[in-house]
Every structure is written in C-alpha cells, then in structure tokens.
Amino acid sequence: MAKKFNRAMYFLDQKDMPTHWYNIQADLPEPLPPTLNPMTKQPATPEFMHALFPMECILQEVNTADRYIEIPDEVLEIYRTWRPTVLHRAYRLEKALDTPAKIFYKYEGTNQAGSHKPNTAVAQAYYNKQEGIKRIATETGAGQWGSALAFAGALFDIEIKVYMVRISYDQKPYRRIAMEVWGANCVPSPSPDTKTGRDMLAKWPDCPGSLGLAISEAVEDAVSREDTHYSLGSVVNHVLLHQTIIGEETRKQMEMADAYPDIIVGCIGGGSNFAGQFLPWVPDKLSGKKKDLRIICVEPESCPTVTKGLYAFDYGDAVGLGPIVKMYTLGHGFIPPPIHAGGLRYHGMAPIICHLHRLGLVEAQAVPQTKVFDAGMLFARTEGIISAPEPCHDLRVAIDEALKCREEGKSKTILIAHSGHGHFDLAAYEKYLSGELVDYAYPEEEVRKAQAELPQVSL
Ligand SMILES: *Cc1c(COP(=O)(O)O)cnc(C)c1O
C-alpha cells in the first residue's frame, strides 16, 4: 500500500505568479472618505501630495476605477528574487493543539529583508526612480520598514535616510547595522536633524519616540528638499495595494490545496501585511460566495486602535505635518507603551481596514504581550520558525480559534498571514525566557488626552 502523503508546502511556479495587484477601491460598496491637506483641512490635491510621493503612487491612492493594476516588469523581476512565497500547512502545530482545525500559513519572512515590507518598498523605489528622485526619507519602528527600504534603495541606487523610533534603535541595534550595510543613513528619532526632533528633545530628552513622531521628522525632511521624497511602509492605499501580491498568490495556493479559509487572521500595525493577504478574499464575502468568512485583525492590548479608538479624521503623523485621514485613532499625540512588537505601535490604522470594519466586513481583537509570546514559543517549537513579535499576535488568535474547534469538535480552515521572522528580535525572546516580559495596561488616560487634540474638520 502507498504511504500516506501529506503535502506541507504549496509552491507556485514563477511563471504562475500574479502579474497584477488587486485594488479593493474598485469594489467598495461605499467610497473611502477623502484624504485632507493638514493646512487647509480640505481634500488634498495631487499637487500637495506630489511634494511627498511619486505621481504613480498618488494615482494608485485615489484609483476607484481599476480592479487590477499591472505590476511593472522591473518590479516583477525583483519580486522573482524571492516570490512566490510558500504556503505552509502547519501539521505539527495542529498535532500539538490536538485540533481538528486545518491551519495554513503564508510566510513572508523568506526575502532579503525578512518581512512582507519589500513588496511595497521595491515598488515605491521603482516609481521614485522613474521620476528622477535621488533621495527618500522615511521612518521605521522595529526597523523592518527601514531595512526593506534600505534594501530597495540599494537595488535602485537611491539614498535612504531613516528616522528610527528611539526605543527600537536602542533595543534592536542589529536592524540599524543591516540598514547601514545596505547603504542607508539611520538616526534615532527624536533626532537633532529636524525641527520636530529638536523641539521634542528640548521638552523630553529621554523621549522613547513613536512611529507618529518619526513620520513627522521624515515628512519635514522630505518637504524641505527638492531631490527628496517621503515614503510610507503602511497605512495608505497604495501600500496596501502593493501588498495584495500576497493574497493573490495565496488564493492560487489554497486552490492547489483544495481548501478555502473559514477564518483569515493577521496582525495590524498600520494594516498593510494583513490587508495584502485578506483584501483579495473580500469580493467573495461581498458576492455571497463565502459570506461567513471571518477576517480577524489582531492588535496589541496596549495599543488597541480598532477595538478602542475613535473613528475620526486625524493626522497620520504625531505633529500635524502630514495628510489627515479618516481612521480609528488613539490620537496622533499618543505614545504607546514600549512593547516589543514595534511595528504595531501606531496611533492610527489603514483607512481601508477601518472602512471595512465600519461596513462589518472585518472584525478586530486585542491581545496582551505575554500571551502573544506564549503563542510564538509554541510555533517555534512545532513549526520551527522564530516569528517576529508582530505575527505572534496572529498566532495567538489562530491558536485560540483552533482550540475552540477542539472544544466544539468542529473542523475549520484557518489561514494565518505570517508577516516575518524574528531573528532580530531575540532580545524580546530572552526577556520572555527569563520571565521578565511584562504586560502593559491600556493607558486609557493618555489616550483620552491625545484624543482631545484631534484636528477640527468640517466636512
Ligand atoms: C511592520 C510590520 C508589521 C506591521 O505593519 P503592517 O503594516 O500592519 O503590516 C507586522 N509584521 C512585521 C513583520 C512587520 O515588519
């Protein structure tokens, strides 16, 4: 008799790799609210946005006409140095949980920079190069975005300046060194290189920084120089668009596995990796093909943007220099507790995800740091991958759902959007192993204060 063959990996051939990104804006039942100019508080014009971004990205940002947008050949060529990524079946995790659930994960940690972020970094570097831009300023939290853009900058010969959130700069020196190896210039934020940074340092010399503050510094840098653009690693529509290559590939791979997810789970910092996975599945929910598909966004309990935020117009950055968008927000001045998932320490959320949450198409859960690492440990000891603290958030909820399946004696198919490895996060694992990792209470008072400072918008 033939031995039982359990396929644990689904490979897509490079010739079958998707050639288009999926643009959810063409399928939204209601359009997104407009992006506003922070000075006028009126809808931002393309001219205003063009001081920050290449025109091609601005057009993608507001494109409501085209469901699919062609990926440029030069970008596809670079994608092919690591894509398609593999879809895995987590047999060993299923066994450890003794669950009837089928657990799949799409793993974005195999590329040169170790997370999903190069999917957009490469596209943005390409569009900037096309416009003759020589230099890009950006912010980074845990260092993943800075690494991805530094890597893309090296490929396109663009100078990269990275403002790295101080707490991560101190906790994760190896990320900074990686950026420098790829040729980028990385400084801790708040930095003395911008007015925003100098003002903050004068008020609070030991400020741990925040993503919002680092964004302010990078935006200030970009608007003050003709040869420089700004680049965002998450939140905005064109970044989510570039990430949809993940979900487009996964749809083909789930078909190869003869499976369809009941639950898709992923972590949200600004929302890009998870949106990249789940957006291509939303049409099935809208059309009724899979009405009961659950899409679960997972966030830290100490920075619970969707589960506890206000749905309001707010600045994307901490100081009020950048565009204003309608989103769930904890207040742009809110500085989240120093959890290890640096990529999830952000006061706002992608407007597309917030909009879909308002429409009842996605749900959200908040989880505490120690339980998140419990899940990361189990995953490392079953599937072998040492996950970044961010995707450990999705592992937590996926494991909880699989355990529910065991209790209820029901099988469900769970798809995890795994955003990257944790090889630069071992200090956090060391804290966990030595019992020093702590949970932070939700800083309600701080949030209420920050939410009192939202911009006054009359639209
Ligand atoms: C940046 C990052 C995140 C959070 O950002 P999103 O835009 O929400 O994806 C999650 N996971 C990893 C590994 C990251 O680097």
Q: Domain residue spans in the chain?
A: 21-68+116-237, 75-114+243-453
pTM: 0.96
Residue closest via CA to ligand 1's atom 7 equals: 272
Residue closest via CA to ligand 1's atom 3 equals: 343
Lowest mean pLDDT among 74-78, 237-241, 279-283, 332-336: 332-336
Structure tokens at 353: 């995800």
Q: Which residues, including other chains, have CB under 8 Å from residue 448's CB and lie 6 or more apart?
A: none
Structure tokens at 388: 């970044």
Q: Which of 108, 115, 139 to mutate to test the pocket of ligand 1 (most atoms within 8 A of CB)?
A: 115
What pLDDT, in 10s, does the model give residues 128-165?
Answer: 999 999 999 999 988 999 999 999 999 999 999 999 99
> Same fold for the domain at 21-68+116-237 and the one at 75-114+243-453?
yes
What pLDDT, in 10s, does the model give residues 308-362?
Answer: 999 999 998 888 888 899 999 999 999 888 888 888 988 999 999 999 999 999 9
Could you please report the per-residue DSSP string of 19-84? -EEE-GGGT-SSPPPPPB-TTT-SBPPHHHHHTTS-HHHHHHHT--S-SEEEPPHHHHHHHTTTPS
| Distance from Cα 269 to the centre of ligand 1, integer Å | 6
| Distance from Cα 387 to the centre of ligand 1, integer Å | 12
Q: Which of 175, 272, 379 to mutate to test the pocket of ligand 1 (most atoms within 8 A of CB)?
A: 272
Instruction: Name which of 88, 147, 86, 95 is nearest 121 in CA terms.
Output: 147
| Strand partners for 160 | 136
CATH code, 75-114+243-453: 3.40.50.1100
Tell me which DSSP letter residue 366 carries.
Answer: E
| Strand partners for 102 | 413
CATH code, 21-68+116-237: 3.40.50.1100
| Distance from Cα 246 to the centre of ligand 1, integer Å | 13
| Distance from Cα 196 to the centre of ligand 1, integer Å | 25
Pocket of ligand 1 (CB under 6 A): 115, 117, 144-145, 234, 267-273, 343-344, 388, 390-391, 419-420
What pLDDT, in 10s, does the model give residues 381-409?
Answer: 999 999 999 999 999 999 999 999 999 99
